[in-house]
Every structure is written in C-alpha cells, then in structure tokens.
Amino acid sequence: MKDILDYYTKRNGSKHYAGRLFARLKAHLKDIQNGLRSGSRTETGSLRLFSVDNVVVFFETHEDHVEIHDVMDARRYQETVQ
C-alpha cells in the first residue's frame, strides 16, 4: 500500500490525496471488521474484495481479525484486475 500512496504523493506533488485515500481505506476496513460491510465475493473461496477510488483490496475475514492479501491500484494494473 505504501507504494500506492507514494505514487499519488509524487504524482500530485502533495500528500493530501494520499492521506485522504489512506483514511478512507482504513475506515472501510474498520467497517468490515465491525460487520457493517462485507465486500464483494471473488471466485476464490473466502477471499473478498472492495475498492476505494480504484484501489482494490483483497481480504479474508476471520473471527478476530481481517487478513489483507493484496492491495493494488486498478488504474496502474488494469490487466491484472480484470
């Protein structure tokens, strides 16, 4: 995730967007952990995903935690996401 945030900081010349994006991703994960959101199913068993501003997060929920498997920027890696 750090490389995605660094990319936007460098591209925009400011940490403002990267900071806002990180805050939104953290809030979404907190909602998932609290059972308020569930994300979308994938073809791979218990693996789920959600996206915020074209950043896609692949994760699994467990009883006591959320396990993040991958975080990718769909705009930079479109062929992988499809």
Residue ranges of alpha helices (H) inside the chain are: 2-12, 16-33, 78-81
Domain holding 45: CATH number?
Answer: 3.30.2310.20
Instruction: Tell me: pLDDT of 59 over 70.
Output: yes
**Over 80: is that where the pLDDT of 2 sits?**
yes
> What is the domain count for the chain?
1
Report residue 21 as tokens: 């994006």
Average pLDDT over residues 55-78: 88
Question: What pLDDT, in 10s, does the model give residues 3-46?
Answer: 999 999 999 999 999 999 999 999 999 999 888 888 899 988 88
Confirm if 8 and 18 have CB atoms less than 8 A apart. yes
At 12 the pLDDT is: 93
Q: What is the domain range of residue 35?
A: 2-81
- Asked whether the CA dihedral 38, 3, 26, 69 is positive or negative, the reply is positive
pLDDT at 77: 67
Decide: 25 and 52 in contact? Cβ < 8 Å.
Answer: yes
| Burial class, 79, CB count within 10 angstroms (exposed 0-12 / middle 13-18 / buried 19+) | exposed
